[in-house]
Structure 1
Amino acid sequence: MRAIPLYLAVGVALLSPLPAAAQSSASAKAGSDSTATASAVDPRAVAALEKMGTYLRTLKQFSVHGDSTFDLVVDNGQKLQFPGTIDYRVRAPNALAIDLKTDRKDRQLFYDGKQLTVYGAKTGYYATIDAPPTTRELLAIIEDDYGIELPLVDLFLWGTDKASTSALTWATFVGPARINGTATDHYAFRQEGVDWQVWIEQGSKPLPRRMVITTTDEPSQPQYTSTLTWNTNATFKDSNFTFAPPKDAKRIQLVKVALVDETGQEGTP
């Protein structure tokens, strides 16, 4: 099965070298393409995205609950849709706890600025590794080194240099909308391989209230959607970010992706 990535990847286009004879015509085409792209990107939509990112980076402690659905595509091309929930507890700059529940998985993640623990409640397995001292550094290695994709990871990337808007090829304001009674503005964006939409709360707290992500480089175009409920006044204890193994829990090794590729053995709870 192929699953839609549960995050937005802000990519960088890499251009291969061109023969000298083709450079002038290619340059002219590139200029035309960049002009067309610029005209398709509404600066007001980009400004709203940047305002949201700036506000998110001011939040030092918060919780957010997501009611989500995601598509899996089976080998014959049929899409299957699964509901799930995601709960984040966050204390900047170095504490994070996640509860992810779907029909297929029940996972928890704990990070206290020193260690990262991943626990599979259905299997009873858990793995603990030493971790870098900040959440931002953790996010930089967790997928590349261990193949762990965190849903809604863009909540931590917007408003940083990891979320450049230069990859956007289309951006527009769709219109006002209400999400669970909250007044929002609906925006739509496009970049290579993904279309995505975000509903941003109106007023002084521009929080993302709903997201829809469509993978466009898959023929079936699977989607991930999540409606978000925020508590920006949440408070936590240190114990909220540390893992206490249940009596029958079994510890295993969290294996790096490179080692899995070499041995064929997995080590994720």
Structure 2
Amino acid sequence: MRRSSLFVVIVAIACAPALARAQTGDVPSSAIMAAPQVQPEAIAALEKMSAYLRSLKQFGLHADTTIDLVMEDGQKLEFPGTLNYKVRSPNGLYIGMKSDRKERELYYDGKTLTVYGPRNKLYAQTPAPPTIAGLLALAEDKYGIELPLADLFLWGTARAPVSALRSAAYVGPARIDGSVTDQYAFRQDGVDWQIWIEAGDKPLPRRMVITTTDDAAQPQYASTLRWNTNATIRDGDFAFTAPKDAHRIELVAAQEVSQ
């Protein structure tokens, strides 16, 4: 897990006792009052979720999001948005991002990355590696683009090591969109984050809240995730065809921008 900025693109196990607690709304006070520590059960839950996500060959995902932006005077403004994902492992990715102020689409077909702005009809393209993992590294390392909800692909890999966690704790059961989940809280340098993992044999992340702690205003990013693991995915979902009135621009490397 990285900072909440990762969600801004240029251009987001069940057992009877747990179910009973979720129904009554009781949260173990020990989870809230305990001193920060790395609890093995929290790490195990994160690893189980990570393994399940890596096992998915394709899926659709909708996320309702909010992000805090901090004004120069320190006031925080909250902006809602939505994300729509179509994913086919290892080399197909579509992301549609929409808010009142910005709309972006990202296409990746295993060969080319395209970033398109439907409102201004501008798009940029660059050759891309043959896997989603390679795409994420290229986008961030070369272009400074941190894709929304990139952690879905990074958990359980060397780019998101559990050794970076300074604390990991089980908070308690909760319901998200009517589903029973278990809530966990994690902390690492510069960021606190919470995740609600669906109980049962499909441990999908259902909600995430990320707080940037090395900013005095502590802005937050939050997303509620709705999964479709049986989504119909087609080759055309990842192919970009430029509209006739669209114009191509250059995708500039981050190092060139900073010079």
Q: TM-score band, normalised by the shorter chain?
A: 0.7 to 0.9
- Does the 8 Å CA contact 1:56/1:159 hold for their aligned counterparts? no
Residue in structure 1 matched with residue 73 of structure 2 by the alignment? 76
Residue identity over aligned pairs, in percent, reads 63
Question: Which residue matches 2:6?
Answer: 6
Q: How high is the TM-score relative to the length of structure 1?
A: 0.83
State the match for 1:162 in structure 2.
Answer: 159
Residue of structure 2 equivalent to 1:14: none
Match of 2:50 in 1: 53
1:134 and 2:140 aligned: no
| 1:183 has 2:169 as partner | no
Shift of 1:159: 2.1
- Structure 2: how far apart are the matches of 1:6 and 1:133? 22
Q: Which has the larger radius of gyration?
A: 1
Give per-residue Cα distances to partners, 1:66-102, cap 9 Å, x unaligned: 0000000011111000000011100000010000001
Q: Which position in structure 2 is the counterpart of 1:266?
A: none
Could you tell me how far 1:161 is from its partner in structure 2?
2.2
- The residue number in structure 1 matching 2:217 is 220
The reply to whether residue 229 of structure 1 matches residue 239 of structure 2 is no
Aligned-partner Cα distance in 2 for 1:147–1:191: 21
Shift of 1:235: 2.1
In structure 2, C-alpha distance between the alignment counterparts of 1:131 and 1:146, rounded to whole Å: 12
Query: Would you say 1:115 and 2:105 are equivalent positions?
Result: no
* Conserved 8 A contact 2:128-2:138: no
Residue identity opposite 1:211 in structure 2: M
Aligned to 2:150: 153
Q: Secondary structure at the match of 2:250?
A: coil
Residue 39 of structure 1: how far off its partner (Å): 7.3
Aligned to 1:15: none
Q: Which runs of 4+ in 1 moved over 3 A?
A: none
Structure 2 residues without counterparts, runs of 5 or longer: 8-34
